[in-house]
Amino acid sequence: MDVVSYILDNKLILIPVLYVINYIVKKTKVISDKFLPLVLLVVGILLSVLMGGDTIINNIVQGILVTGATVLTDQIVVQTKNKTT
């Protein structure tokens, strides 16, 4: 299933934005890795709602989808770097 096909074109910019926020927070260790997906979810929803362009419910769903795509991308990068057999 291709999650990105469900994300509106104007919300795709949030994926790299959230990825950069994720990277910065991980490097500064401001928030525990355990809570990072939850923080990204809140930020993703807030940014999506602030961008507007649709109903509030659709903006919330878009925020959830872009956060999911961001976390999935991050995990793919982390898992491919770990070359354990």
Q: Is the residue at 15 inside a domain?
A: yes
In a domain, 17, yes or no: yes
Q: Is pLDDT above 70 for 71?
A: yes
Give 22-66 pLDDT, tens digit per residue: 999 999 999 998 999 999 999 999 999 999 888 999 999 999 999
Q: Does 84 score more than 80 pLDDT?
A: no
Q: Give the relative orientation of helices 56-81 and 14-28 as an angle to the nearest 10 degrees.
A: 50
Q: Which domain holds residue 67?
A: 10-80
- Region 4-28: mean pLDDT is 93
Q: Output the CA–CA distances (angstroms, integers) from residue 20 to 31, 62, 63, 75, in the order listed.
A: 15, 18, 16, 14
Q: Can you give the pLDDT at residue 1? A: 62
Please answer whether residues 49 and 14 qualify as being in contact, where contact means their C-beta atoms are separated by less than 8 angstroms: no
Our count of domains for the chain comes to 1
- For residues 23 and 45, the answer to whether their CB atoms sit within 8 Å is no
Residue 31 maps to a domain: yes
Domain annotation covers residue 3: no
